[in-house]
Amino acid sequence: MRRYLVIADKMDMTSGDFQFLYTERTIAKESFYESLTGVTFWQHGDEDDERAKRAYRNLLYFSYQSMTHWLEDSGLEAFQRIFGSNPNIPRATATPDRFAKFLHDAFYLYALAFNQSVDNSTSRIPSGRTIFNNSCNQRFQGKSGRFLTDGKADRRGSYFIWDMDEDNIFKRVFVAKYDVVYQKLQLEVLGNILWGNSRWYITPDGGRYVPPDIPKCGFSKELCDSDDDDDGNGDAADDGDAHDEDDVRGGNDVGDDDDDDDDDNDDDDDDDDDDDDDDVDDDDDDDDDDRDFDDTSLVKNECSHPLAPSLYPDYKFSVKATGYK
């Protein structure tokens, strides 16, 4: 990421016209957050440090909202009480794998859905469809934080949004939480965003400022070409337009007439050549289309949710989950 941001600075894209977004796609370790909230996140002691600092001011960093504690003492005590005398069970440690708490919550969700399915079912063994339906729209406080599922039984997480402040370190400015009532993410303000042009998201007068969708000069500086022409070549361009108008009205500049005739002849020749080439290319394209076109390529590939009950309509669960009611 740092390498790309340094390149962006070299391309003059770090003055506030562009905002870069990066999403951390894994469950970060605690050491990562220590790095993120320090200058070593962007400062590597090389010649690009100054460029990196400017570039990182234009970055919003998204990370999963994870809990700072890994395993409570009560969890260790319960483990020792249940499995302590079993020599085949690995010993519990104070710092388990960082994914362990998510595995715990996944099993807990299954237990809740299974128990609800058994309690509300007329048969002793509920179907997979019933268990799946009871996995939707669940809410509980898990080991990995607030646990919410939507109408597809997908977990809806919460995310931190980080921004570099005036001290050149990243701080949390927003937390995005899933709202079960409105079925969308809601932003909770934790701080203020400092944009790359040194302007604040929350302005001193209480207003809001965000960079415009289109940079002042356009994405390729195409909107500033007219200004450049006015500064240097604008007069010449105007003179050229005036000469063109004189020629249309029958101007007396013989040299221009000769040049125009030559240009017209050249243009005609070029147009003829281009037309011939286009005809050949079009014929080739038509042949390729007739040869390669496949009606099946237009058929939409329908995808199903990986937990869709329609995939397993007759699947039964025969084990009663206990201890979670």
Residue ranges in the chain whose pLDDT is less than 50: 68-71, 227-261, 263, 265, 273-275, 277-325
Whether residue 114 contacts residue 126, with contact meaning beta carbons closer than 8 Å, is answered with yes
Model confidence pLDDT, tens digit, residues 272-324 = 544 454 444 444 444 444 433 333 333 333 333 444 444 333 333 333 333 33
* Residue carrying the six token digits 């994405």: 219
Structure tokens at 121: 């079912």
Whether residue 174 contacts residue 187, with contact meaning beta carbons closer than 8 Å, is answered with yes
Strands 145-148 and 159-164: unpaired
Contact residues for 44 (Cβ-Cβ < 8 A; gap 6+): 2, 52
Model confidence pLDDT, tens digit, residues 82-113 = 877 788 887 766 666 778 888 889 999 999 99
Report d(CA 192, CA 200) in Å as an integer: 7
Domains detected in the chain: 2-65+157-189 (3.40.50.2300), 97-155+309-325 (no CATH)
Q: Give residue 89's pLDDT.
A: 80
Q: Give residue 297's pLDDT.
A: 33
Q: Give residue 295's pLDDT.
A: 35
